[in-house]
Every structure is written in structure tokens, then in C-alpha cells.
Structure 1
Amino acid sequence: MFAEMARGNQRDLARQKNLKKQQELAKSTKKGDYQKRKENDADILREKQRLADERKAAEAAANLKK
């Protein structure tokens, strides 16, 4: 009898823990600061573009030397 109560309590605690975890996860993905995320994505794209431009310039310089 006592084992059943303990197991039931364990299930309840696990459910509460999982619910809290799911809420935190949903909050972090959906409620992130839109403007901050947008700026961060733009910075990443600018950096990728800068690297691509540098690579193209290096290839063009290499072609001129040939």
C-alpha cells in the first residue's frame, strides 16, 4: 500500500517537473526578444556576406596574378 502512494507521488512530482521544463522551453523559444533576435540574425548574415566578399576578392586577385 505504501509503495503505491510513493509511486503516485513520484509520478505527480515528475509531471510537475516536466510541466515546468516544458513551460520554460516554450517561453525561451517563443517569447524571445524579437528585436534582439532579428538584430543577431542580421549580424550573422552580414558576417557571412563579408566573408564571401573577401573570398571573392581573394579569388579575383589570384586570377589576376595568373
Structure 2
Amino acid sequence: MTRGNQREKDRERAQARNAKGKLKDDGLTPEQRRERDAKALQEKTAKKAAQAAGGSNASGGGSKK
């Protein structure tokens, strides 16, 4: 039963993948996580705005028509 063995191997691989994804538990409550993410987003947008105000276009996107 090669197929049965393949299924078992796939289940093991799936469990290993899911275990890796669970490592992101940082011990924060959902509210704390929201605040942290909001702060990071504000910093990111401020940096992007400062970069745009400086005239430097590092992304190479150019203007859309």
C-alpha cells in the first residue's frame, strides 16, 4: 500500500509546517497586538511620506497615467 504510506508522510509534513507557523505566539492580547501593529503602520506611512516629500523615488514605480 504505497498510497497509504504517502498519505502518512504528507500528514507528517503538514503537521511540521503547521507547527512552524504557530511559533509567532508573542504572548500579547489582541488589543496589545492591535496597538503594536497600528504603531508600526504609522511609522511605515510616516517614513514613506518623508521619502516622497524628499523627492527620492526608490521604488522606481514612476507616475501612473
TM-score, normalised to structure 2, is: 0.43
Structure scoring higher RCO (CA < 8 A, sep ≥ 6) equals: 2
TM-score, normalised to structure 1, is: 0.43
Which structure: greater helix fraction? 1
Select the structure of larger CA radius of gyration: 1
